[in-house]
Chain A
Amino acid sequence: MSDALLTRLEALGPDEWRPEAPPALVMPPGAEAAPRRRALTLRPLPALAAVLLLLALGAGGALFVTSQDPAPSRTLTLTSLRPDGAAQGKVRLARTGGRATLAVSGLAPSRRGEFYELWLLSPPGDLVSLGSFRVSAGGRATLQVPLPVDPSRYRFLDVSVEPDDGDPAHSSHSVLRGRT
């Protein structure tokens, strides 16, 4: 098993070791409107434990729960890099970390052979690609991506236009940017 695993690892190419960010997920029609039913099931032991804990802690318990609430999600604003540009974007960083949601509007619809890419960057050359996406004829797009790094370690969120030429580097053609 171990030899086979090592052989398989040695056979992997650069793309498998550093996979390209996938295109944004297009939610199937009706998926967003689907009711999110979640059955409320009472599990006897955890419920009993919770009741006993609350009784033991009294009012202090409520204070404890409040103080342990996770920080709310942060929303960052991206603005157009063109003085007359109407494009804008918002990036919401999930409160639990590890995920970001981008919503853009006013961008030029994606052309054939081009796509948009979301980056974390700190000049002059510290860059992390977060994901690629296309913009519809209406100039809007949304993208949900995992965050492989802590965004606060980077100065900017950046959206660039990238030619589909297989070069993973930033094209230097940025259209939106905002401070992290």
Chain B
Amino acid sequence: MSARLPRISASTRAPSRADRRLAARLRRRDPQALRDLHTDLGASVFGFLRHALGDRGTAEDVMQQVFLEVWQRGPDYDPRRGSPLAWVMTIARSRAIDHLRRRIPEPRDPSGAADEDPRGDFELDELLERWRLAALLGRLPVQEADVLRRRFYEGRSQAEIAEETGVPLGTVKSRMVAGLARLREALDQEEQAA
């Protein structure tokens, strides 16, 4: 198989205080650090795995492997190399690929088609990016995330959102601007070391 390895970057980022604190808690083996990571990222990791693997039970099993690995590798987590979100999602991607490879009967095609992954790496990376964005959306204030969902998922205009929610149009606009700005900033921080 010609699966690409997870991206490894030698570049570094300026970690936030929260990321440095999390790294310190993981180094000293604080179980609450793992719980906090699960609370913050669990839904996105599980969503990614469920879509990547196509089965809830399998996704649950792999999810436990991911968080076990997070715990085991926690002391080595370096926030200068990537955010906790990028780090945990990279582990999830690797474990998903492991599982997808295991369940392919080998060899699939003696003529050489065995090089093809049933769920291509490109598709998996796209899925991963979607769920990274979902994780960042989950950190927005609820009202801002709600406006963005109505606008970009339900396709409502700002005027329609104002009418549906009873919120003044000016407030809808300011929430959308604030939500997008917050999201851009979060994405910029996420992609600093990518």
Q: Which residues of A contact B (CB under 8 A)?
A: 1-2, 5-6, 8-23, 25-28, 31-32, 34-38, 99, 112, 134, 144-146, 148, 164
Q: Which residues of B contact A (CB under 8 A)?
A: 28-32, 34-35, 38-39, 42-47, 50-51, 56-57, 60, 63-64, 67-68, 71-72, 129-131, 133-134, 137-138, 142, 148-149, 152-153, 180, 183-184, 187
Write out the residue numbers on chain B whose beta carbons fall within 8 Å of the beta carbon of A27. 31, 34-35
Write out the residue numbers on chain B whose beta carbons fall within 8 Å of the beta carbon of A13. 130
Write out the residue numbers on chain A whose beta carbons fall within 8 Å of the beta carbon of B44. 19
How far in angstroms is the closest Cβ of chain A from B10?
24
Write out the residue numbers on chain B whose beta carbons fall within 8 Å of the beta carbon of A15. 47, 51
Write out the residue numbers on chain A whose beta carbons fall within 8 Å of the beta carbon of B34. 25, 27-28, 31
The complex places the Cα of A144 from the Cα of B67 at a distance, in Å, of: 15
Quick one: closest A residue to B187, CB to CB? A5
Q: Are A5 and B180 in contact (CB under 8 A)?
A: yes
Write out the residue numbers on chain B whose beta carbons fall within 8 Å of the beta carbon of A23. 46, 60, 63-64
Q: Are A28 and B72 in contact (CB under 8 A)?
A: yes
Q: Are A19 and B183 in contact (CB under 8 A)?
A: no
Residue from A16, A28, A164 with most neighbouring chain B CB atoms (10 Å): A16
Q: Are B184 and A8 in contact (CB under 8 A)?
A: no
- 18 example contacts (A-B, Cβ-Cβ < 8 A) are as follows A10-B152, A12-B134, A16-B130, A19-B44, A19-B47, A19-B138, A20-B43, A20-B46, A20-B47, A22-B42, A22-B63, A31-B71, A34-B29, A36-B31, A38-B28, A38-B30, A99-B39, A144-B39
Q: Are A37 and B39 in contact (CB under 8 A)?
A: no
Q: Are B43 and A9 in contact (CB under 8 A)?
A: no
How far in angstroms is the closest Cβ of chain A from B183?
7
Write out the residue numbers on chain A whose beta carbons fall within 8 Å of the beta carbon of B72. 28
The complex places the Cα of A12 from the Cα of B153 at a distance, in Å, of: 7
The complex places the Cα of A11 from the Cα of B137 at a distance, in Å, of: 14
Q: Are A17 and B134 in contact (CB under 8 A)?
A: yes
Q: Are A21 and B43 in contact (CB under 8 A)?
A: yes
Q: Are A32 and B31 in contact (CB under 8 A)?
A: yes
Write out the residue numbers on chain B whose beta carbons fall within 8 Å of the beta carbon of A17. 134, 137, 149, 153
The complex places the Cα of A5 from the Cα of B176 at a distance, in Å, of: 13
Write out the residue numbers on chain B whose beta carbons fall within 8 Å of the beta carbon of A19. 43-44, 46-47, 134, 138
Q: Are A12 and B138 in contact (CB under 8 A)?
A: no
How far in angstroms is the closest Cβ of chain B from A39?
8
How far in angstroms is the closest Cβ of chain A from B160?
16
Write out the residue numbers on chain B whose beta carbons fall within 8 Å of the beta carbon of A1. 184
How far in angstroms is the closest Cβ of chain B from A160?
16
Quick one: closest B residue to A36, CB to CB? B30
A28 and B133 contact, Cβ closer than 8 Å, known pairs A1-B184, A22-B46, A23-B46 = no
The complex places the Cα of A13 from the Cα of B187 at a distance, in Å, of: 19
Of the residues B46, B50, B63, B68, contact of A28 by C-beta under 8 Å: B68
Q: Are A14 and B60 in contact (CB under 8 A)?
A: no
How far in angstroms is the closest Cβ of chain B from A89?
19
Q: Are A20 and B50 in contact (CB under 8 A)?
A: yes
Write out the residue numbers on chain A whose beta carbons fall within 8 Å of the beta carbon of B50. 20
How far in angstroms is the closest Cβ of chain A from B118?
21
Q: Are B35 and A25 in contact (CB under 8 A)?
A: yes
